[in-house]
Amino acid sequence: MLGRLFVWVLLLIYYDPQSLFVTPHYESYPGVIVRLRTVDTAHLHELLLEAWKTVAPKQVVREWEGRERK
């Protein structure tokens, strides 16, 4: 799981290096730093939602997704 998160982080940075980056201190963390002035708000919403889904209880995610489909 953690390996996939690091690949995801690398892909995010590759996709939008002007808005997403990692400093040397955080290279071993499965996350990115976001430049709020340059990030597309729709993209940021998607990133936050996907990040939440990876850490939220599965039942809560299923309930949320069920409400979103209605």
pLDDT range class, residue 70, cuts 50, 70, 90: low
Global pTM reads 0.70
Nearest residue to 44 via CA among 70, 20, 27: 20
**H runs (alpha helix) in 1-70:** 2-15, 41-55, 58-69
pLDDT tens for 4-55 read: 767 777 888 888 899 999 999 988 887 889 999 999 999 899 888 988 898 8
∠ CA 63-9-50, rounded to 5° = 10
Beta bridge partners of 33: 21
